[in-house]
Amino acid sequence: MSITASGSRIIRIHQNIIGPGEPKAKTIMPRRESDFPGVPGVYLKAAIKYTDPALLGPPLCDELIDLIQHMFTEEEAAVFLPLGILPGKTAATVAKETRLPLETVKTILTGLAEEKRFIIHSGPDDNPKYHLIPLMPGVFELCLIRPSLDSLTDWHRRFAELMEALYETGYMAEHMRGKGPALVRYLPTQQTIESHPMALPSDKLEIILDRYKVFGVGICQCRLTEEIMGRGCGREKLNCAIMGEGAETAIRNGTVKQVTRAEMLAIKLEAEAQGMVNWMFNVENAGTQSSCSCCGCCCHNLKTISEFNVPSSIAPPHFLPKVDAAKCNHCGKCALNCPMAAITVHTKEKTYTHREERCIGCGLCVIACEKQKAIVMEPVPDYKLPYKSWFSFVSRAVPHAIVQKRRINRERRTAMSGKI
């Protein structure tokens, strides 16, 4: 077995077959509170808050406990405990519930929201309300995104290592089962779509960028983490983008650096040239839009599908590749360049297999096949357009989340009862 020269770890070349490797097995080992007799109670309670399926959390486990003890001091954890997703709580409310001095609570909440970025706040600046967010996506991204590596400390590097250890247990797979509203969608590469007669404005990066006036860009948290782990793929990291109202806040807070529309377009096109794919929130009229540039070897979202072999919250693509058998010479370049390991080519037996359920419709296989021109992108007949607004998305996401939470809690109870 060997790995591709591009650095992808999801593609296997073995006995003339180019395609996906074996799926990873979940290694998550659920624990009980009594399994951690030496861990301070405030850390156990903080970890348990994150196990909530509504926060896309893992079951209580060793990796989560290790992460929590790194994330918080005991005093920070105590201030963190009263918080929930909605409604938010003010510093005064938290001070009352924890019986800590108001100024102490204000200082801690400000640090958790603006320095460590573990929580978010809303409302007036002089009396904000604080809210919990998921570990991933959420805490992981906000904590590590930054305009440069200058502010990255050993504490951040250890945080990234512990988050990666938790992710690699495969716990996210239980949240990806079931077909709910898709939060993100991947754009076809502009090279393959710019002259396509069936391309929509929502497919075209340039048109999407035209809706916004303020743009910010920061370091990709997934590729940064893989680099910290000694597995970096070498691709550009400064291409995690935010646009619109949210960009103004992120730039002001120093989370990202401001760029022009022309610079943003150039960054995103360069990402495609390096074999990355660009996603957007699956909402058409969003005051704030985000766009990561993902590679199949580092992106957690893509690897949940390709390595753990489960569906995800990615929207089905508008276009899928179609191969002209008469032109295909089964060289395998399409399989080598697929970020999802959705293609398998047997170079000796001359067979081609496409796993549609893994395909994100990016078109990188078309670009890889430029010489033979054996692959074209064809529109999907029943393609669903992006949601018109965040309200439209949330009104569908909440009922699905309730069903998911009940299922996951039921499965966890069943699993733990078998350990008695």
Dump pLDDT digits (tens) for 376-387: 999 999 999 999
Helical axes 154-167 vs 221-228, angle rounded to 10°: 100
254 Cβ partners below 8 Å, 6+ apart? 146, 147
The vertex-177 CA angle with 172 and 181, nearest 5°, equals 100
**405 found inside a domain:** no
The per-residue pLDDT for 419 is 58
108 within domain boundaries: yes
Residue 360 lies in a domain: yes
Selection from 289, 309, 285 nearest residue 388 by Cα: 285
- Report residue 180: phi and psi, to 5°: -110, -175
Q: What is the CATH number of the domain that holds 38?
A: 1.10.10
Q: Which pLDDT score is estimated for 176?
A: 85
Residue 399 forms part of a structural domain: no
| Stated pTM of the model | 0.91
Q: Are residues 86 and 195 in the same domain?
A: no
Based on the fold, state whether residues 70 and 163 are members of the same structural domain. yes
Domain membership flag for residue 407: no
229/364 same-domain check? yes
Reduced to 3 states (helix: H, G, I; strand: E, B; else coil), residue 62 is helix
Tell me, what DSSP letter sits at residue 125? T
Q: How far apart are CA 113 and CA 131, in angstroms?
A: 9
Q: How far apart are CA 26 and CA 4, in angstroms?
A: 25
Domain assignment present for 109: yes
DSSP string, 63-125: HHHHHHHHH--HHHHHHHTT--SSS-B-HHHHHHHHT--HHHHHHHHHIIIIIS--EEEES-T
Q: Residues 346, 262: one domain?
A: yes
Tokens of 412: 């966890």
Regions of the chain where pLDDT drops below 70: 1-8, 311, 418-420
Q: Are residues 267 and 283 in the same domain?
A: yes
Residue position matching structure tokens 């074996």? 22
Predicted local confidence at residue 247, as pLDDT: 95
111 shares its domain with 228: no
- 265: CB partners within 8 A, 6+ apart: 205, 206, 209
Instruction: Pick the closest to residue 139 from 300, 258, 247, 264 (CA basis).
Output: 300
Q: Are strands 343-346 and 17-20 parallel, antiparallel or unpaired?
A: antiparallel
As for how many domains the chain has, the answer is: 2
Contact 408, 174 (CB under 8 A): yes
Quick check: helix, strand or coil at residue 150? helix
Q: Tell me, what's the pLDDT at 6?
A: 40
For residue 82, how many other CB atoms are within 10 A of its CB? 16
Q: Which of 139, 173, 207 is the last residue of a domain?
A: 173
Query: Residues 198, 161: one domain?
Result: no
The separation between CA 398 and the C-alpha centre of its own chain, rounded to angstroms, equals 19
Sheet harboring 343-346: ordered strands across? Answer: 11-14, 17-20, 343-346, 351-354
Q: Would 250 be classed as within a structural domain? A: yes
Which residue, chain included where needed, has tokens 């996401």?
Answer: 397
Q: Is residue 302 part of a domain?
A: yes
